[in-house]
């Protein structure tokens, strides 16, 4: 790993320290995770990862409705109100 310096406001550093303590990790680890998340969101997921995630949750939830395939737009509009 390469060491680098980052300047933060006092408030942000205090918040990071609290969060790090809650999760039992260092502030540096939280910063690394944040950077990784930012970089991943900007370049997208690795090839095939979206499909892997979608397959992992497919069929995990039940609405109790038998016509979702036909009326999905109506149900979505209802839920978005």
Confidence of residue 9 (pLDDT cuts 50, 70, 90): very high
H-helix or E-strand containing 30? helix 27-43
Q: Residue 18 burial (CB < 10 Å; 0-12/13-18/19+)?
A: exposed
68 vs 65: CA distance, rounded Å: 6
Chain-wide mean pLDDT for the chain?
Answer: 90
Q: Which domains does the chain have, with CATH numbers?
A: 1-55 (1.10.1220)
Q: How high is the pLDDT of residue 45? A: 73
Global pTM value: 0.53
Query: In this model, does residue 80 exceed pLDDT 90?
Result: no
Please write the tens of the pLDDT for every residue from 40-60: 877 777 778 888 888 898 888
59 DSSP 8-state letter = T
Cβ 16 vs Cβ 7: under 8 Å = no
């Amino acid at each position: 790993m390469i060491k680098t310096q980052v300047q933060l406001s006092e408030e942000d550093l205090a918040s990071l320290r609290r969060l790090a303590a809650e999760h039992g990790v260092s502030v540096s680890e939280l910063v690394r995770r944040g950077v990784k998340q930012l970089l991943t969101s900007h370049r997208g997921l690795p090839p095939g990862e979206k499909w892997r995630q979608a397959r992992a949750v497919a069929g995990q939830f039940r609405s109790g409705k038998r016509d979702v395939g036909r009326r999905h737009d109506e149900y979505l509009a209802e839920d978005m109100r």
